[in-house]
């Protein structure tokens, strides 16, 4: 009888997030921090010109390997003005995508944890790059983004001041925001 009752119980979901499971996960990590260690992987293959393909399948977390049923495949290219054939977004556009997705997820999860129901949310991002850095023309010009701006619109069951607090939680807890804004060591070497 207990099993039947459990199966019919609906999770406490806010914004599509199972809040009960979220809090159980937080408690489990507090008790055994080692389960919080994750390693994500990507494999990339150059195809032609600026066109390359990344495949993402498995990752490590909670002290074990996790294999997805299906790999995620993402192509990257450059627009014609940057000598590509425009077969896919370029890598710096993927950086904006990763930032938008991660900050959005962080906002949604933290809003759910605070019991704030979001009805709709969208964002737009723009970033400024000066090609003089990438092209090696000037060493004093960054090769990547000089600045990225993200504008977020949220319709939710909360007053504007609470929404401001929730929006601030996005970058505060976003792993991608943290990675972009903190000097993260990246090692690139020839594999033998």
The number of helix segments (H) and strand segments (E) in the chain equals: 6, 8
> What torsion, rounded to 10 degrees, do the Cα atoms 162, 164, 170, 171 define?
-140
Digit-by-digit pLDDT tens for the chain (192 residues) are: 344 444 545 678 888 888 888 888 888 888 988 988 899 999 999 999 999 999 999 999 999 999 999 999 999 999 999 999 999 999 999 999 999 999 999 999 999 999 999 999 999 999 999 999 999 999 999 999 999 999 999 999 899 888 999 999 999 999 999 999 998 999 999 888
Instruction: Give yes or no for a contact between 106 and 169, defined as CB atoms under 8 angstroms apart.
Output: yes
Domains in the chain: ranges and CATH:
15-88 (3.30.300.20), 89-182 (3.30.300.20)
Q: How many CB atoms lie within 10 A of CB 122?
A: 11
Kindly report, residue by residue over 38-61, the tens digit of the pLDDT: 999 999 999 999 999 999 999 999
Distance of alpha carbon 37 from alpha carbon 29, whole angstroms: 10
């Amino acid at each position: 009888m207990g099993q039947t009752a459990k199966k019919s119980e609906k999770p406490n979901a806010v914004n599509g997030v199972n809040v009960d499971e979220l809090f159980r996960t937080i408690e489990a990590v507090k008790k055994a921090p080692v389960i919080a260690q994750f390693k994500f992987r990507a494999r990339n293959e150059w195809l032609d010109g600026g066109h390359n393909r990344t495949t993402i399948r498995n990752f490590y977390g909670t002290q074990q390997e996790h294999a997805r049923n299906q790999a995620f495949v993402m192509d990257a290219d450059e627009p014609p003005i940057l000598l590509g054939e425009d077969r896919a977004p370029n890598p710096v556009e993927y950086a904006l995508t990763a930032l938008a997705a991660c900050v959005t997820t962080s906002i949604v999860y933290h809003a759910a944890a605070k019991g704030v129901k979001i009805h709709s949310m969208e964002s737009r991002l723009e970033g400024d790059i000066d090609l003089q850095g990438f092209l090696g023309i000037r060493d004093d010009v960054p090769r990547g983004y000089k600045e990225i701006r993200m504008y977020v619109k949220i319709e939710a069951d909360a007053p504007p001041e609470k929404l401001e607090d929730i929006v601030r939680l996005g970058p505060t807890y976003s792993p991608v925001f943290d990675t972009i804004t903190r000097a993260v060591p990246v090692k690139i070497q020839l594999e033998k």
